[in-house]
Chains A and B, each alone.
Chain A
């Protein structure tokens, strides 16, 4: 790929009727203007990039997201993953829009009227550790033993304690994930529960929500936040393009 000298950065696929605001800037050091490459009822939102440097700066990442946010205010959009570059506008047509025409048409119809929300929660760790100790006498006993040990002793007891706590937390996490799904499901066309990140990750759910259910969904998230107050810190991102739902099927 050393010969790569520039190309067409692709943000996403929209219906060809989609409109773009003037002067929307894309990724890169001297960012090109975002434009639409149209073909057969579809359009790809692209901008020119040069090979001044590899893409991936903070500016590039935020620009990718900003362009997609802008697109989705006006139409359904199938978001590309960050970093898709084709040689030129012709290649966008011949390598992207043409060969995947029917899939894109189907997907645009499928996601029309829906947006994604991402709901993430983190445990207030002390609170949830307290729960774990209260629920399991064995863990509590072991913890009392470990507490009395000198700092550098009892290595295996410490590991055993940590292991018990770790697995208890995993059970807690599974139960909380079920609560989240039960609470949000009535307003969701689809939910993807992912393994939450980090020691204190509690829940990580991507939810596809139809416009008519949006108010209800947001109330349900608020309800969940209230139910978990002091125990799980809940955050919600969105509305977003359907990042978590657009994967193409493997052939």
Chain B
């Protein structure tokens, strides 16, 4: 929760240090210099590198998810709870866990799929060809 972060760090901005694996993945897998596709020979083990699950694709599922989130919101209001109570409810895990971003999920899958990075789970993650495979 933001409020806890403030209390602990005396700041409104969380500065994770050292950066977690998810942050590192996001930085080094699809950014940084890449010269020629062929030099990335060692990547045969992690074809999943080409994952690009960043964009939320608008779909019926997405819409239903938002509709559900919106309705859940209203249930709180009907119960007449005020804001601090509402925040408590969220902190207890009522809402927060469900509303994490899609990319976190994708990253968890990725971590699981990396050799040595998990139990060798092979859940399908969305993949598409890298946009910058061949450069210069």
Q: Check A250–B28 contact: CB distance below 8 A.
A: no
The interface on chain A, measured as residues whose beta carbon lies within 8 A of the other chain's beta carbons, has a size of: 83
Q: Among B16, B60, B99, B136, which residue has its beta carbon within 8 angstroms of that of A250?
A: B136
A119 to B92 Cα, complex, angstroms: 27
**Distance between Cα atoms of A34 and B77 in the complex (Å):** 58
Selected from A81, A228, A236, the residue in CB contact (under 8 A) with B14 is A236
User: Which residues does chain B contribute within 8 Å of A124, judged by CB atoms?
Assistant: 2
Question: Of residues B3, B27, B45, B114, which shows the largest number of chain A Cβ atoms within 10 Å of its Cβ?
Answer: B27
Instruction: Quote the shortest CB–CB distance from A224 to chain B (angstroms).
Output: 8
Does residue B7 face the partner (Cβ distance < 8 Å to A)?
no
Q: Is the CB of B55 within 8 A of A195?
A: yes
Q: A137 CB to closest chain B CB, in angstroms?
A: 14
Q: Which residues of A have CB within 8 Å of B117?
A: 56-58
Interface flag for A110 (CB, 8 Å):
no
Q: In the complex, are the beta carbons of B101 and A147 less than 8 A apart?
A: no
Known: A56-B45, A125-B95, A233-B14. 13 other contacts (CB 8 A): A54-B115, A61-B24, A81-B30, A129-B70, A143-B70, A147-B71, A161-B66, A166-B58, A169-B66, A197-B104, A199-B101, A229-B12, A243-B27
Contact B104 A198 (CB under 8 A): yes
Distance in angstroms between the alpha carbons of A13 and B68 in the assembled complex: 49
**Complex: how many Å from CA A162 to CA B36?**
43
Alpha-carbon separation in the docked complex, A9 to B35 (Å): 13
Known: A81-B34, A84-B40, A197-B103. A235 touches B14 (CB 8 A): yes
